[in-house]
Each structure stands twice: as C-alpha cells, then as structure tokens.
Amino acid sequence: MRRTQKVFGGITLLVVGLVLALIPQLASSRSIGTWKQETNVETIPAYHTSVPEGPLPATLSPSLFTDPIAQNAYRLAARIKKILYQQPCYCHCDRSQGHGSLLDCYTGKHAAECGICVREDLYAYEQTRKAKSAAQIREGIERGDWQKVDVTKYASPLHAK
C-alpha cells in the first residue's frame, strides 16, 4: 500500500511539474503584440504594421542564384522592401527561423528554397503595381490569394531596374 502511494505521489508531482513548465510558454505565445488571431484561431505569422524610420535591411543579390524564378523574386523583393516588411509569411519561418516579416526571407537564402515565400513576394509585387496598400496586400495574403500567382510568368529573366 505504501509503495502504491509513493508511485502515485511521484506521478502527481511529475504531472504538476509539466503543467507548471508549460504555462509560461503558452502564455508568452499568446502575448506577442504584432500577431493577430483569425476567427478560426489560427495565428497569423509575424509582420510589422508600419515601416521603420531607418533603412531596411538589404535583400540578397539576384546574381547569387541560378534559378530564374529565384533571381526574379529577389530582384522584385528589392523593389518593394517596405511592402514586404509589412507582410506575414505563411511558411511560418517566424517560428522556425525567427523572421519578423516576409522581408526577412529575402535578406538570406531562405526564399530561394521556399515556394510560399516566392509566391507571396510575387503576389505583393503584382498588387503593388495595382496601387494596393500594404494593408490591402496583407489582407490578400491572409486570405491566401498568393496561392493563385502564376509563377511560370517569372521563369524568364526580368530586366534589372
């Protein structure tokens, strides 16, 4: 009987310890100020609501890549850095790589290997050409409109500007 009580007590302490260890993680993941909650409770990836006063980080040079779609994506990203800074990235690299917005995907090689990043960038570029604001583009990205982008239109090299 005494042994059963010790085992049960040990299990109870273990469960209580795990619960106490998880509470801070759950609380902090819900308190990030730039994240919003959709009605279906899926978290929108990190983004910024406005552009900082200082300079934005540089995107990598398109010449670093051999794939024409990657080259074009990086070339266009450099043209719309302020817009990309204000967009979430649905590959959830905010969680896996600490990115703060879609722009961060283009300051490193991540976007060259990620079809989501490329489609969102091309979508943002196309919407910018239609005079959409960063907030309007973000609404489209959140709806998933970026998934409809025809990437094959960007398979030939674009002219540098």
Q: What is the pLDDT of residues 109-127, one digit of tens each?
A: 999 999 999 999 999 999 9
Determine what percent of the chain is predicted with pLDDT higher than 70: 73
- In-domain check, residue 87: yes
Tell whether 41 is covered by a domain. Answer: no
Per-residue pLDDT at 103: 96
- Indicate whether 97 and 145 sit together in one domain: yes
Residue 158 pLDDT: 83
CB contact set of 61 (below 8 Å; sequence gap of 6+): 74
Name the burial class of residue 26, with classes exposed (0-12), middle (13-18) and buried (19+) by CB atoms within 10 angstroms of its CB.
exposed
Same domain, 18 and 66: no
- Considering the domain architecture, whether residues 142 and 80 belong to the same structural domain is answered as yes
pTM, entire model: 0.72
Evaluate whether residue 95 is within a structural domain. Answer: yes
Residues near 34 by beta carbon (within 8 Å), at least 6 away in sequence: 46, 47, 48, 49, 100
One domain, residues 80 and 131: yes
Instruction: Name the residue range of residue 124's domain.
Output: 62-154
For residue 145, pLDDT over 90 is answered with: yes
Q: What is the 3-state secondary structure (H, E, C) of 60-84?
A: CCHHHCCCHHHHHHHHHHHHCHHHH
For residue 18, is pLDDT > 90?
Answer: no
What are the structure tokens assigned to 83, written together?
């817009």
Q: Is residue 113 part of a domain?
A: yes
Nearest to 80 by CA among 141, 2, 32: 141
CB 85 within 8 A of CB 57: no
Residue 73 located in a structural domain: yes
The per-residue pLDDT for 13 is 52
Domain identity same for 5 and 79: no
- Do 97 and 150 share a domain, yes or no? yes
- pLDDT value of position 94: 87
SS (H, E, C) 11-51: HHHHHHHHHHHHHHHHHHHCCCCCCCECCCCCECCCCCCCC
Q: State whether 70 and 126 are in the same domain.
A: yes
- Domain tally, the chain: 2
